[in-house]
Amino acid sequence: MSRAVRILLTQRIALLALLIVVVVVTFFINDAGGYLTAPYDFDYMSASLISAVPLAMLGLAELLVILSGRGGIDLSVGAVVSLAGMVFGFTYGEWGWPLWPAILATAGFGALCGAVNGFLVSYIGFPALIATLATFYAYKSLAIVINDQQPISTKPIQELFSLSKSVELPLFGRYVPDVPLGIFTFLLPTVVAVWLLLARTTYGRRLYAIGTNDVAARWAGLPVKDTRFKAYVYAGLISGLVAVVTVGQFASARPDAGVSGNGMALPAITIAVLGGVAITGGIGRVAGVVLATLLIVWLNAGILLAFVGNEGSQYQLLALGAVLVFAALLNGLTNRRYGGTTS
């Protein structure tokens, strides 16, 4: 028994998996009892995954940046999504570029925005919080001013809405629910790419090394500045891809897409921390971020059905905050009792 508790407390992935099961079972029971406003079944869970696409991708962007250590964090991802989305709107929607060059240009522009962050943080030595706070303001402002506050929703952009449609899987698709297309076109490739980068390349090992102890990494001859710089570039690249997804979802390139309301950066950082990424750097895994996203998405989807009107979106805030504070306190506890979580 104590061994099971220990695994749950020290293995973040095990805890997240358990929490997902608890959440899903709870809503299934509520559904069976008729307490929900609409059925909470596999079809609904699958359809709700569309909101996991931007969330998980930005969570992975934060994973890369936070891993790089020295207080690494990126507050600007939401503003990059807004600004790169406008770039996509111009190239694809206004100037009539073909789809692929437009996507590449958008991702490249995101990477450029990330490179500005990385240059300030890694080569000049700005604290990451400050540098990305500054670029958050700058990108946000540019995104709104660049097209005079107007969204771009020309015909090609509107037709992109098909990205968020659900599709039937080949072969065994008849036996499982339809899955949103964005999962396959954007989320899975990003997850696999980031996992390969972190777990199967020299770069990944270097990133963990500089995040754990950058002085030791420098004495070991690692290119610390270059490695950290690239983490911000990759985060920007992913934000650029999220911009394409977001434009597709809204069927419009909105200048405030990534910063309206709470913005996209706060939820992304929350997901990363919930997924077991240590804010001090060097600790964190792709699987944790993905599981944390699933937990939040399915929890939010259930909450929407459990309340009438806009109360649901309010209780989502409560759930997100409570889960984050709970996870953080748990981290503190395990640090003292077991000497830390392993992922």
Residues of this chain that bind another protein (CB under 8 A): 73, 75, 120, 124-127, 129-131, 133-142, 144-145, 148-149, 261-262, 266, 269-270, 273, 279-280, 309-310, 314-315, 317-318, 320-322, 324-325, 328-329, 331-332, 335-336
End-to-end CA distance of the chain: 21
- Nearest CA to 278 out of 130, 73, 125 is that of 73
Q: In angstroms, what is the minimal distance from the CB of 16 to another protein? A: 16
* Residue 240 near residue 108 (C-beta atoms within 8 A): yes
- Nearest CA to 343 out of 83, 5, 63 is that of 63
Q: In angstroms, what is the minimal distance from the CB of 62 to another protein? A: 12
Based on CB atoms, which residue is closest to another protein, 54 or 255?
255
* Residue 99 near residue 309 (C-beta atoms within 8 A): no
Q: In angstroms, what is the minimal distance from the CB of 216 to another protein? A: 20
Based on CB atoms, which residue is closest to another protein, 221 or 309?
309
Based on CB atoms, which residue is closest to another protein, 108 or 127?
127
Based on CB atoms, which residue is closest to another protein, 161 or 315?
315
Query: Percentage helix, strand, coil, to 5, in the chain?
Result: 75, 0, 25
Based on CB atoms, which residue is closest to another protein, 236 or 248?
236
Q: In angstroms, what is the minimal distance from the CB of 222 to another protein? A: 23
Q: In angstroms, what is the minimal distance from the CB of 278 to another protein? A: 9
> What are the distances in angstroms from CA 338 to CA 11, 287, 315, 326, 343?
11, 22, 33, 17, 13
Please enumerate, as own/partner, the contacts of 35-44 that have beta carbons within 8 Å and a separation of 24 or more. Answer: 35/306, 36/302, 36/305, 36/306, 37/305, 37/306, 37/308, 38/305, 40/301, 40/302, 40/305, 42/176, 42/177, 43/177, 43/178, 44/301, 44/305
**C-alpha to C-alpha distance for 44 and 57, rounded to whole angstroms:** 21
Q: In angstroms, what is the minimal distance from the CB of 125 to another protein? A: 6
Supply 53's token pair.
């696409």
Based on CB atoms, which residue is closest to another protein, 135 or 239?
135
**C-alpha to C-alpha distance for 261 and 186, rounded to whole angstroms:** 24
Residue 4 burial (C-beta neighbours within 10 Å; 0-12, 13-18, 19+): exposed
Based on CB atoms, which residue is closest to another protein, 249 or 334?
334
* Residue 235 near residue 135 (C-beta atoms within 8 A): no
Q: In angstroms, what is the minimal distance from the CB of 116 to another protein? A: 10
Q: In angstroms, what is the minimal distance from the CB of 170 to another protein? A: 40
**C-alpha to C-alpha distance for 28 and 331, rounded to whole angstroms:** 29
Based on CB atoms, which residue is closest to another protein, 92 or 232?
232
Based on CB atoms, which residue is closest to another protein, 125 or 189?
125
Q: In angstroms, what is the minimal distance from the CB of 159 to another protein? A: 29
